[in-house]
Amino acid sequence: MIAVPFHQDPRVVRGFIVFSRVVATLMIVVSLAALTPWWWSVGPLTKLLPEQLSMKVHAAIGFAFSGSGLLLSQGTGYARPRLASWLSLAVIGIGLAALAEYVWSVDLRVGQLVDDSLARQSASLSARMAELVAVALVLLGGLGLLVSTRRWLYLRDGLAVALLGIAITGMASYGIALADKDSVLFNRVPVYSTFLLLLATLGWIASSPTTGLTRVATANTLGGAFARRLLLPALLLPVFFAFVFEVLQSWLGLPQALAFAFVALFSGGAVAWLVWRVATLLDKLERQRRESALLRNDADTDALTGLANRRAFDEALINLLRGQREHDARFSLLMLDLDRFKTYNDAFGHVAGDEVLRITGHLLSAALRPTDLAARYGGEEFALLLPDTDVTRAGEVAARILDAFRGFAWPRRAVTISIGVAQSASGDDALALIQRADAALYEAKNSGRDRATTASALPATLIAG
């Protein structure tokens, strides 16, 4: 059996690439907005959420470098991905420098590297970066480096999962903070850093849509459709539940047990919504599959005989020839032609001729295996493709078809058929194989009709009726 290739949906792949570029641009914009206190007393992010901690200067630079590297990593040529790798290394360096301040109790005072005349908020700018943000920058730089160099896929996916875990936990903690409670782990992590971390991770893994974690999400399969529609909502549900739980306790003053009961209700509703989404998606995809199958069946089927048409035959022949080249899977081709069909039409009319063609379709279908293909090649000529069948077994099939035609109770007069048999050979293309089977068919016609001839070099072998 030939393996079915794993296809990506081109439209979805393009969408992921566009998403990663938008994310990269947004990272740069937000990081630059976080750096504006160097020039103005109050930056735009501080105005937006005045109660939140401001992003540290080295964290903002790290995210700006990561966003720039994300944009460059998708460029063509050698220089841009290489520059993206250097920027990712710089992000790792910024994270490691911030961690060194905690490990060795060294104050590197990164903010003081900027001219004091520009630093309007020097105390804030020189403050230490949160430990978790520093760790996240190291991981983010590593993710960017591996994506840019296209190496160590499993390590890259592991870093992406770890970063998603940090970002989702940070967003959930932000939900707790909104409910007027402290989060011990994230109480010094600005929400902007958590937001950028989530975006950056999604952007980097989306920039390589045909490998790693996104390979399934971009696949033109049922699993790909599920991943695209349900994965992100499932990731964000913990943030929502944490916020709802704390709001019920802090803002509404509900006891913890009652708050838990409401969260359980919300959880059940969310699970029910996901199940409904899955069911709706399954229903839609199944209806589309059936409609597609019907359309394909109409496009590949001869309306009169119910057999495959010439288009379907050509496609099947190409696939069998490919299988022969790649897996040495031999097969046989039978070309068939109704004997003296023109005189039958002239004597009994085209309606009677159509009836003969329909009966021929039934007789051929009954003589074949489910894996075989019978096609109306044109007019009163038919073709059979027999996978994994040598010339001897193909001759047996031809003899069975001849017997079926002879034994059928034709309504007006007996109808016979002539058959040419050819086995595929190494180096065959479609034209060469069809020409050999056609030559055998003409030999059967010239030898008296109502018989099958097997194509051979010297001379043709007759399977006489």
Strand order in the sheet with 461-463: 373-378, 381-387, 331-338, 417-423, 452-454, 461-463
Spatial contact of 113 and 102, defined as CB atoms under 8 Å apart: no
CA distance 163 to 168: 9
Estimate to the nearest angstrom the gap between the alpha carbon of 108 and the chain centroid: 46
Tokens of 221: 């399969």
Residue with token string 């023109």: 342
Give the side-chain half-sphere CA count within 13 A for 170.
Answer: 24
- Taking CA atoms, 51 is separated from 42, 62, 128, 180, in Å, by 13, 23, 19, 11
- Taking CA atoms, 336 is separated from 362, 417, 428, 441, 460, in Å, by 14, 7, 20, 7, 16
- Taking CA atoms, 55 is separated from 36, 127, 153, 197, 367, in Å, by 11, 10, 31, 12, 76
Spatial contact of 375 and 308, defined as CB atoms under 8 Å apart: yes
CA distance 229 to 212: 18
Spatial contact of 430 and 310, defined as CB atoms under 8 Å apart: no
- Taking CA atoms, 233 is separated from 13, 168, 226, 359, in Å, by 20, 12, 11, 56
Tokens of 230: 């349900």
For 344, residues 6+ apart whose C-beta sits below 8 A from its C-beta are: 338, 352, 353, 356, 412, 413, 415
Residue with token string 């009836």: 355
Residues with catalytic annotation? Answer: 380
CA distance 193 to 210: 28
